[in-house]
A and B are shown apart, each in its own frame.
Chain A
Amino acid sequence: MTDAATVRDVAALARLAISDQDIENATAEFNQTLALFDALSSADTTDVAPMINPLDSAQRLRVDSVETLVDRAGLMQNAPASEEDYFLVPRVLD
Chain B
Amino acid sequence: MTEPFETISSLAKQLDAGRVSSRELVEDAIARTETLNSALNAVIALDKPGALAAADKADKARADGSTSPLLGVPMLHKDIFCTRGVQTSCASKMLADFVPPYDATVVKKLDAAGMVSLGKCNMDEFAMGSSNETSFFGAVKNPWDLNRVPGGSSGGSAAAVAAGLAPLATGTDTGGSIRQPAALCGITGLKPTYGRVSRYGMIAFASSMDQAGPMARTAEDCALVLNAMAGHDPLDSTCADISVPDYSAGLEQSIEGLRVGIPKEFFSSHLNDGVAATVTAAIKELEAAGAVIVDVSLPSTDLGVSTYYVIAPAEASANLSRYDGVRYGYRCDNPSDLQDLYLRSRTEGFGEEVKRRILIGTFTLSAASYDQYFMKAQQVRRLIADEYESVLNDVDVIAGPSAPNTAFVLNDGSKSITDMYMEDVFTIGANLAGLPAISVPAGLVDGLPVGMQLIGSRFGEAQLLNIAHQFQRRTDWHSLTPDLEGLTG
> What residues of B have a CB within 8 angstroms of the CB of A61 in the complex?
237
- Interface size, chain A (Cβ < 8 Å): 54
> What residues of B have a CB within 8 angstroms of the CB of A54 in the complex?
194-195, 208-209, 385, 432-435
Q: Are A7 and B359 in contact (CB under 8 A)?
A: yes
The verdict on B60 contacting chain A, using a C-beta distance below 8 Å, is: no
Q: Are B237 and A59 in contact (CB under 8 A)?
A: yes
Q: How far is the CA of A59 from the CA of B199 in the complex (A)?
A: 14
> What residues of B have a CB within 8 angstroms of the CB of A17 in the complex?
343-344, 347
> What residues of B have a CB within 8 angstroms of the CB of A53 in the complex?
194, 208, 238, 434
> What residues of B have a CB within 8 angstroms of the CB of A50 in the complex?
375, 378-379, 381-382
The verdict on B341 contacting chain A, using a C-beta distance below 8 Å, is: yes
Instruction: Indicate whether A79 sits within 8 Å of B347 (C-beta atoms), given known contacts A48-B383, A70-B101.
Output: no
> What residues of B have a CB within 8 angstroms of the CB of A80 in the complex?
325-326, 328-331
Q: How far is the CA of A35 from the CA of B310 in the complex (A)?
A: 12
> What residues of A have a CB within 8 angstroms of the CB of B385 in the complex?
51, 54
Residue interface mask A15-58, B partner, CB < 8 A = 1: 11100000000100110111111111111010011111111000
Main secondary structure of the interface of A (DSSP, over half): loop
- Please name the residue on chain B nearest to A2 by beta carbon: B363
The verdict on B376 contacting chain A, using a C-beta distance below 8 Å, is: yes
Main secondary structure of the interface of B (DSSP, over half): helix
Q: Are A29 and B356 in contact (CB under 8 A)?
A: yes
> What residues of B have a CB within 8 angstroms of the CB of A69 in the complex?
102, 235
Min CB gap A10→B, angstroms: 5
Min CB gap B79→A, angstroms: 16
Min CB gap A6→B, angstroms: 8
Q: How far is the CA of A36 from the CA of B364 in the complex (A)?
A: 13
> What residues of A have a CB within 8 angstroms of the CB of B378 in the complex?
50-52
Q: How far is the CA of A59 from the CA of B366 in the complex (A)?
A: 25
Residue interface mask A54-76, B partner, CB < 8 A = 1: 11000111100000011101110
> What residues of B have a CB within 8 angstroms of the CB of A16 in the complex?
343, 346-347, 350, 355, 358-359
Instruction: Indicate whether A51 sits within 8 Å of B382 (C-beta atoms), given known contacts A15-B343, A16-B358, A79-B327.
Output: yes
Q: Are B383 and A33 in contact (CB under 8 A)?
A: no
- Given B380, B416, B417, which contacts A43 in the complex, CB threshold below 8 Å? B380
Interface residues of B in 430-474 (CB under 8 A from A): 432-435
- Please name the residue on chain A nearest to B330 by beta carbon: A80
> What residues of B have a CB within 8 angstroms of the CB of A87 in the complex?
326-327
Q: Are A77 and B101 in contact (CB under 8 A)?
A: yes
Q: Are A14 and B359 in contact (CB under 8 A)?
A: yes
- Please name the residue on chain B nearest to A38 by beta carbon: B306
Q: How far is the CA of A32 from the CA of B359 in the complex (A)?
A: 13
Q: Are B306 and A36 in contact (CB under 8 A)?
A: yes
A-B contact sample (16 more), CB < 8 A, given A15-B346, A55-B238 = A14-B346, A14-B362, A32-B417, A35-B418, A37-B306, A37-B310, A37-B373, A42-B303, A50-B378, A50-B382, A53-B194, A55-B195, A60-B241, A71-B101, A75-B101, A79-B328
* 18 CB < 8 A contacts A-B: A10-B359, A10-B362, A14-B321, A15-B324, A26-B356, A29-B417, A30-B359, A39-B303, A40-B310, A43-B379, A51-B378, A51-B381, A51-B385, A70-B101, A70-B102, A75-B327, A89-B341, A90-B338
Residues on A lying within 8 angstroms of B by beta carbon are 2, 6-7, 10-11, 13-17, 26, 29-30, 32-43, 45, 48-55, 59-62, 69-71, 73-75, 77-81, 87, 89-92
Residues on B lying within 8 angstroms of A by beta carbon are 97-102, 194-195, 208-209, 234-235, 237-238, 240-241, 300, 302-303, 305-307, 309-310, 317, 321, 324-331, 335-344, 346-347, 350, 355-356, 358-360, 362-364, 366, 373, 375-383, 385, 416-418, 421, 432-435
